[in-house]
Amino acid sequence: MSRVLVTGGSRGIGRSICLRIAHDALARGKTPKIVVTGTGTSPDLNNVVAELKALGAEALAVPGDLNDPDVPANLVAHAVEFCAGLDAVVHNAGGAIAGTLLKTKLADWETVFAVNCRAFFLLGIAAHPALRQSKGALCAIGSNASEAMQPFLNAYPPAKAALTMLVKQMAYEWGRHGIRVNCVSPGLILSRSTESALSELKDQERVGAHIPLQRIGSPEDVAAVVAFVIGPDAAYLTGENINVDGGLRHLGPEAVLGQASGWSAECPGGGMRPEKK
């Protein structure tokens, strides 16, 4: 896929997605045309465009706040015009407002759902004609929060769970039109949302030790899967939610108990016993 719209593409996972899409298109002998969006103009957004152009891609930055229901269609219109069509839309923009459910304001709840879920619906509706023509793909960036409770993120896990189901619904209805729709759900990734808490290597190693693959994920890990999902090698893949979390969601209570109380899951047969000191 060489004509792509990427929302939330200015930093972290979004930036890596843009660069990976460009690399893959160039490797296939195509000239990538990528429209990158973000909330407001920023040096980061312009820097990504400069990086893409340096690689040999054609790139355009289009700012827009996805809280505004008119913005998704506007972004798609810019992308279709700039790219002379559209092969894929990747919705990476998202966000959470921390807090407990009891203290969540209705406006905050609606904002989180608007950016994470509603925007993907509106992007899909607007992009449908172009994607139907190109037999293209939609890819939502979800979260492992859609399957596991996340403390103090109130609306975020429900919004991502809704996004995952929306992907399945769109895939079912639009498969007959040749449009594939999938979701890629990162786990703990070293990106914009975690960079302050995990700025030190020792913190990354400490947290990564609890993950089955023994490390925190990188934006490039996610970008590689997104590029596959929207690319020609995934031509028979639709309606799926692919978790890119190093196995994090499979952790059982032993992962917590092992750290908190000295219990171990090494007992034959899968039982748990006190760890010998």
Active site (catalytic) residues: 156
Residue 163 has phi, psi (to 5 degrees) of: -60, -45
HSE value, Cβ hemisphere, 13 Å, CA-based, for 40: 2
Evaluate whether 174 touches 128 at the Cβ level (below 8 Å): yes
Evaluate whether 180 touches 226 at the Cβ level (below 8 Å): no
Q: What is residue 242's three-state secondary structure? A: strand
Residue 108 has phi, psi (to 5 degrees) of: -70, -40
Distance, CA of 246 to CA of 115 (rounded, Å): 26
CA distances from 108 to 46, 103, 112, 115, 143 (A): 29, 10, 6, 11, 19
Residue 164 has phi, psi (to 5 degrees) of: -60, -40
35 bridge partner residues: 5, 60
Provide the token pair at 199.
Answer: 């700025």
Evaluate whether 184 touches 16 at the Cβ level (below 8 Å): no
Provide the token pair at 53.
Answer: 């152009």
Evaluate whether 106 touches 149 at the Cβ level (below 8 Å): no
Q: How many residues does the chain have?
A: 277
99 bridge partner residues: 153
